[in-house]
Amino acid sequence: MGNKHARAFQLESARRVEWERTRTEPRCVNDDVHVYGIGIKRVQLLYAPGFESGYSWDIREQGAGTATVTSIPADGESAGTFRQPDAEAEFTLYRSEIITSHPCYTVQGYQRLDYPSKRLQDFFVRLRSLSLPISPLYTGYGGADGIYYELALYGDLNSSLRFTWWSESPEQWKEVVAIGEEMVKEFRQAEVMVGDENS
């Protein structure tokens, strides 16, 4: 019995050490955090304005178990097939602060925010249901000021995609951009979850 309690204590201690490292060590925004029980990263949104604090938010899915396969019309002729989020799954929101943009966007901290699971799931479902051209902008112009965005969507089996745009975005990405801006507006108002030991 003593060995069982000792093992549980060791696991909990290791988990706390991992959380402390996650909260304090800078990391490239593309690097995922790995803490037991935190769930799978499904969406990442980076918001980097030129002259004020910027943030990265992760939407994570916990309890992604039994798969439910559904056919979704994509263009009226073909259909896509993917797993619907489980009814029992919980979606959580975490925030990191951008501390530098070179050589990659580097973030620090990982605070859980108080935000409705159902609303996060809605964002995830809306994003992965989109069908759009992937071509970026080809204008011959560059820019220095303004707001820089990244929006990434993560699937299973290491599948993912990442959209990046500046204040002027590709017309063909308008649905992605609209959802991203909606998320920024709401996430910036979200408060750190009270009583969460990892915040």
Per-residue pLDDT reduced to its tens digit, 137-179: 887 776 667 899 999 999 999 999 999 998 889 999 999 999 9
Could you tell me the two tokens for 5?
Answer: 């309690």
Q: What is the pLDDT of residue 2?
A: 63
Q: What is the pLDDT of residue 74?
A: 46
Highest mean pLDDT among 36-40, 42-46, 140-144, 193-197: 42-46
In a domain? residue 122: yes
In a domain? residue 24: yes
* Residue 78, pLDDT above cutoff 50: no
Query: Under a CB-based contact definition with an 8 Å cutoff, are residues 47 and 143 in contact?
Result: no
CA–CA gap between residue 5 and residue 34 (Å, rounded): 24
In a domain? residue 30: yes
CA–CA gap between residue 189 and residue 36 (Å, rounded): 28
Q: What is the pLDDT of residue 150?
A: 96
Could you tell me the two tokens for 86?
Answer: 């489980």
Of 9-18, 59-68, 100-109, 185-194, the range with the lowest mean pLDDT is: 59-68
In a domain? residue 197: no
Higher pLDDT, 119 or 69: 119
In a domain? residue 109: yes
**For residues 72-99, average pLDDT:** 70
* Residue 199, pLDDT above cutoff 50: no
* Residue 31, pLDDT above cutoff 80: yes
Residue ranges with strand state E in 74-155: 79-84, 90-100, 106-114, 147-154
CA–CA gap between residue 120 and residue 62 (Å, rounded): 12
**For residues 132-137, average pLDDT:** 89
146 dihedral zone (left: phi>0; alpha: psi -120 to 50; beta): left
Q: What is the pLDDT of residue 186?
A: 98
In a domain? residue 198: no
**For residues 26-37, average pLDDT:** 91
In a domain? residue 51: yes
In a domain? residue 66: yes
CA–CA gap between residue 177 and residue 168 (Å, rounded): 10
> Mean pLDDT across the chain, nearest whole number?
85
How many domains is the chain partitioned into structurally?
A: 1
How much of the chain, in percent, has pLDDT values that exceed 90? Answer: 58
- Which residues form the domain of 118? 2-192
Cis preceding linkage at 73, omega within 30: no
